[in-house]
Structure formats: structure tokens, C-alpha cells
């Protein structure tokens, strides 16, 4: 079994991450309801029951309510904090009455944002903090200063990024004394730019690929954990209504169902297993709050290990809608 970069660093061996964006009710400032707490508790319990021990947050998720409702779970189960890895993200600021929506990697935003995260979660430290999306105005030296202050204060143990290129990671890393440990990207069987970028080298078809070259290779060489957000492709291949989807999606959904039946597993396991088969040791971040769908992901690692190279390429070809060149 290939060891994940986070496991190499002694941070986490959770092969799947539970993404908490679905917790906390709606995206308004409306108060949390009793039902919101019940939904969160059931989803987290389902994740724990299948061996998930890493939980991914962001300060903006449900305008802070995702972290708040998770904090209530930790308050009820104080023993749980030492059994899990908590990851959160900062750097996106919502539009308000005066300012536009924007990114902010300034020290004056990062540090109080982390304080807010810790307060909502009711914990003393984060295991991993990610910069959420690239800030065009970022200054690596200032980021490093913020990270050093957070680490020295015991508030954050490790740092990473989300949705960044290899060049952006190197740009930030150049000012940091400690390695970046995560890059979180949208990767799935339905979002294939990360594969297309590699196989369409020196071909006209690759001109329109929207994925920066070298990200996967850089992360593998630097032992940066690649995490995949949206890995279940919003259920396109595992039961969601797809009458209006193109033929390649319909064909791939049928193929996923067929493979799941043959391997006596779930469509979710096949979809995640396809991602996890990649040698980059991708760590899916599942975003469902449905306990049933969480449980359906339990067999993903076995599905990955039992998937042949030919089955992997068959799924790729089906989702692409054309054969591999």
C-alpha cells in the first residue's frame, strides 16, 4: 500500500477526509436550528464509523456555522479532539455593504481569522491551516510572518494551500521555514483537466485544458498531500438524476454501476477508488452530509486496490467521451 504524504509526516492516515461545508444549515446569518445539530451529529458519526479521522473546514462555510455546529459536537465529546485531525481554510472575504468579495492573505486577516476558527470549534489548535484560494496581492514574506506567529503561539501545527499552481506553491514556500503539506484541488471522474493536461501534451486538443502543468508532479516530488474536493462529482455517477446530462456522463454512470455490481461494492466506492488509484495518492474530501452516502464510501480503498489499469482507463475514456489519443 502506498503511504500518503500526510502519513509520512505523521499528521494523518485517514485515507478519506470528511468535508464539513454541508454542515450548519444554510448560507445566511440565520441561527442554527435543532435539526442542523442533528444532521451534523449523524454525518460526523457516520464518518467516524468508517474510519475517517480527518475533518476539513473553512472559516466561510455557512458563514462560520459549519465550524460552530462541529464545535458543539466536540463539546459533547471532548475525548474526540485527540482522535481526529482538524483542518480549516482562510483567505476569502465575502462582499459587504462597502467592499467587494475578495481574497486576503494579509497577516492582519489571517491571524484573527484563525482566532475565530478556534473559537467556533472550541479548540486550542488546528492541525492544518490552508490558504483557500490564490490572492493576487499575496506577499510570501507576510504570509510567513503570520504562519510563524500562529505556529509559535501553538495555534496551528502545519500549513498548506488550496487551488494553487506549482509556481504559486514554490513562491510561497520560498519564504517559509517549514514545508507546505497540502494542496486541495477539484479532482474527479467528471472534472478531468488534471488528467487531460498530462495526456494532451504537444496536441492541439490540449490548448483549451484549464489546468496548470506540473501541479501533480510537484506535489508528488515535494510530498505535498493532494486532496480532492468534489470527488463524488455531485453524485453524477452514483444515483443522481442525469436525464439532462450528456451521453458520456450517462454512459459512465452505467459503467460505474456495472463495476460496482461486479465488485460487490457501491458506485461511490468505484468513483472514489478511481481517484485513489492514481499514484499521486489523492485524498478525497467527501462533502455529503447524508449518513447513507458517507457509509457508501467505506469501500473506496479496496475498490482502488482491486481496480485494474484497464478498468481505470475504461472509466477515463468513458468520461472523456473519446478514446485516449
Query: Mean pLDDT, to the nearest integer, of 135-161?
Result: 98
Is residue 92 a contact partner of residue 64, using CB atoms and an 8 Å limit? no
Query: Mean pLDDT, to the nearest integer, of 217-234?
Result: 97
Query: Mean pLDDT, to the nearest integer, of 169-177?
Result: 97
Cell of 224: 505535498
Q: Give pLDDT tens digits for 148-159.
A: 999 999 999 999
Q: Give pLDDT tens digits for 301-324.
A: 999 999 999 999 999 999 999 999
37 is catalytic: no
Q: Give pLDDT tens digits for 59-68.
A: 999 999 999 9
Q: What pLDDT sits at residue 212? A: 87
Q: What is the CATH number of the domain that holds 153?
A: 3.20.20.100
Q: Give pLDDT tens digits for 257-281.
A: 999 999 999 999 999 999 999 999 9
How sure is the predictor about 9, in pLDDT bands with cuts at 50, 70 and 90? very high
Residues with Cβ within 8 Å of 84's Cβ and at least 6 positions away in sequence, in order, are 53, 54, 55
The answer to whether residue 140 sits within a structural domain is yes
The answer to whether residue 256 sits within a structural domain is no
Is residue 309 a contact partner of residue 62, using CB atoms and an 8 Å limit? no
Give the global pTM: 0.96
Cα–Cα distance, 225 to 282 (Å, whole number): 7
DSSP string, 206-267: GTT--S-TTHHHHHHHTTPEEEEESTTGGGTTTT---TTS-HHHHHHHHHHHHHHHHTTS-H
Q: What pLDDT sits at residue 202? A: 83
Q: What pLDDT sits at residue 203? A: 85
Q: Give pLDDT tens digits for 37-59.
A: 999 999 999 999 999 999 999 99
Query: Mean pLDDT, to the nearest integer, of 227-234?
Result: 97
Domain count within the chain: 1
The answer to whether residue 279 sits within a structural domain is no
Cα–Cα distance, 105 to 131 (Å, whole number): 8
The answer to whether residue 11 sits within a structural domain is yes
Question: Residue 97's domain spans which residues?
Answer: 7-186
- Which one is predicted more confidently, 209 or 45? 45
The answer to whether residue 157 sits within a structural domain is yes
For the cut 80, the answer to whether the pLDDT of residue 1 exceeds it is: no
The answer to whether residue 96 sits within a structural domain is yes
**In whole numbers, what is the pLDDT of the chain averaged over residues?**
96
Q: What pLDDT sits at residue 16? A: 98
Q: What pLDDT sits at residue 130? A: 98
How sure is the predictor about 205, in pLDDT bands with cuts at 50, 70 and 90? confident
The answer to whether residue 106 sits within a structural domain is yes
Torsion of CA 90, 91, 96, 100, to 10 degrees: -160
The answer to whether residue 178 sits within a structural domain is yes
**Of the residues 18, 37, 61, 229, which is catalytic?**
61
Judge residue 182's burial from the number of C-beta atoms within 10 Å of its C-beta, 0-12 exposed, 13-18 middle, 19 or more buried: buried
Amino acid at each position: 500500500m502506498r503511504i500518503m504524504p500526510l502519513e509520512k509526516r505523521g499528521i494523518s492516515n485517514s485515507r478519506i477526509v470528511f468535508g464539513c461545508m454541508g454542515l450548519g444549515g444554510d448560507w445566511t446569518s440565520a441561527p442554527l436550528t435543532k435539526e442542523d445539530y442533528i444532521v451534523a451529529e449523524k454525518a460526523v458519526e457516520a464518518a467516524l464509523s468508517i474510519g475517517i479521522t480527518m475533518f476539513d473546514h473553512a472559516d466561510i462555510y455557512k458563514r462560520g456555522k459549519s465550524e460552530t455546529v462541529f464545535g458543539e459536537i466536540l463539546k459533547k465529546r471532548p475525548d474526540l479532539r485527540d482522535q481526529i485531525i482538524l483542518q480549516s481554510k482562510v483567505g476569502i472575504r465575502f462582499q459587504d455593504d462597502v467592499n467587494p468579495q475578495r481574497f486576503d492573505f494579509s497577516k492582519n486577516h489571517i491571524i484573527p481569522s484563525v482566532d475565530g476558527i478556534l473559537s467556533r470549534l472550541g479548540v486550542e489548535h488546528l492541525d492544518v491551516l490552508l490558504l483557500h484560494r490564490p490572492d493576487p496581492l499575496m506577499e510570501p514574506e507576510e504570509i510567513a510572518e503570520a504562519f510563524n506567529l500562529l505556529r509559535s503561539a501553538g495555534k496551528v501545527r502545519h500549513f498548506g494551500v488550496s487551488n494553487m499552481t506549482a509556481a504559486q506553491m514554490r513562491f510561497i514556500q520560498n519564504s517559509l521555514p517549514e514545508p507546505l503539506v497540502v494542496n486541495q484541488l477539484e479532482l474527479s471522474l467528471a472534472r478531468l483537466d488534471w488528467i487531460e493536461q498530462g495526456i494532451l501534451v504537444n496536441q492541439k486538443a490540449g490548448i483549451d485544458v484549464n489546468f496548470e502543468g506540473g501541479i501533480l508532479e510537484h506535489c508528488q516530488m515535494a510530498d505535498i498531500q493532494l486532496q480532492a474536493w468534489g470527488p463524488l462529482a455531485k453524485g453524477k455517477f452514483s444515483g443522481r438524476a442525469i436525464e439532462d446530462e450528456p451521453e458520456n456522463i450517462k454512459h459512465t454512470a452505467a459503467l460505474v454501476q456495472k463495476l460496482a455490481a461486479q465488485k460487490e461494492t457501491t458506485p461511490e466506492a468505484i468513483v472514489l477508488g478511481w481517484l485513489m488509484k492514481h499514484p499521486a495518492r489523492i485524498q478525497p474530501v467527501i462533502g455529503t452530509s447524508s449518513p447513507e452516502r458517507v457509509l457508501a464510501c467505506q469501500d473506496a480503498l479496496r475498490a482502488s486496490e482491486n481496480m485494474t489499469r484497464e478498468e481505470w482507463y475504461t472509466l477515463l475514456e468513458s468520461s472523456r467521451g473519446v478514446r485516449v489519443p
